[in-house]
């Protein structure tokens, strides 16, 4: 199973029935492919769509249905579209139960950096600053390392997206929460040891006596 699938499948287990959930661009959009049976979730894209479904198969997308990054999405029966003002009213008004965002860095206190100088790594902050501040729960889908360097760092060197700490980080190696502002190892991925997670992580991790394996 590839890294992005591991991350998306594990985050899908965090979905709660009947809630409004935003999926950011990149790995987060894949979460819609793994909604657990019996769970009904209303996915929102900040460009003005509620009711997004799984990523469409190649050749089956509609050019008018995209996520916030312009990538194709599907729409479920009953989906609705609206303008940007309404979309950000939902986000800033605290109506999202959860947002799933990508990340460039997360520090050991749970602060997120997921944008850089325009024209470099990603094209600016976008709606992430609103989502990271306005959603009731912020979950980050991020690969553990990039070019051999940990993306879970002691201190972010990229611009922060929000002063508010995130709630949960899921990588292909681990699930990490931030109780009391401390990065805490909650789960390891199948076949991954605690020692492997620690070796791949720059940040200081709190390790409980028992760390279960991810259920994916």
Which amino acids are annotated catalytic?
A: 46
Helices in 99-181 by DSSP H: which ranges? Answer: 128-134
Helix (H) or strand (E) holding 199: helix 194-199
Q: Which residues contact 196 (CB under 8 A, 6 or more apart)?
A: 173, 188
Kindly tell me the number of DSSP H helices and DSSP E strands found in the chain: 4, 14
Alpha-carbon distance 70 to 28, whole Å? 14
Distance CA 124, CA 9 (A): 28
**Cα–Cα distance for residue pair 32/204, rounded to 1 Å:** 32
Distance CA 11, CA 141 (A): 8
How many CB atoms are located within 10 Å of the residue 66 CB? Answer: 17
């Amino acid at each position: 199973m590839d890294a992005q699938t591991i991350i998306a499948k594990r985050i899908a287990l965090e979905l709660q029935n009947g809630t409004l959930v935003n999926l950011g661009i990149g790995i987060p959009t894949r979460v819609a492919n793994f909604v657990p049976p019996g769970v009904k979730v209303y996915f929102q894209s900040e460009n003005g769509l509620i009711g997004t479904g799984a990523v469409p198969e190649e050749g089956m997308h509609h050019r008018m249905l995209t996520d916030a990054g312009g990538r194709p999405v599907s729409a479920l029966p009953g989906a609705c579209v609206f303008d940007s003002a309404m979309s950000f009213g939902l986000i800033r008004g605290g109506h999202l139960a959860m947002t799933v965002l990508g990340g460039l860095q997360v520090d050991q206190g749970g602060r997120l950096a997921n944008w850089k100088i325009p024209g470099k790594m990603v094209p600016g902050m976008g709606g992430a600053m609103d989502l990271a501040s306005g959603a009731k729960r912020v979950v980050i889908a991020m690969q553990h390392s990039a070019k051999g360097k940990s993306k879970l760092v002691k201190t972010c060197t990229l611009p922060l997206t929000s002063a508010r700490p995130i709630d949960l980080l899921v990588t292909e190696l681990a699930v990490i929460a931030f109780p009391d502002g401390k990065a805490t190892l909650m789960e390891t991925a199948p076949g991954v040891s605690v020692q492997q997670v620690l070796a791949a992580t720059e940040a200081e991790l709190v390790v409980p006596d028992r760390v279960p394996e991810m259920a994916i």
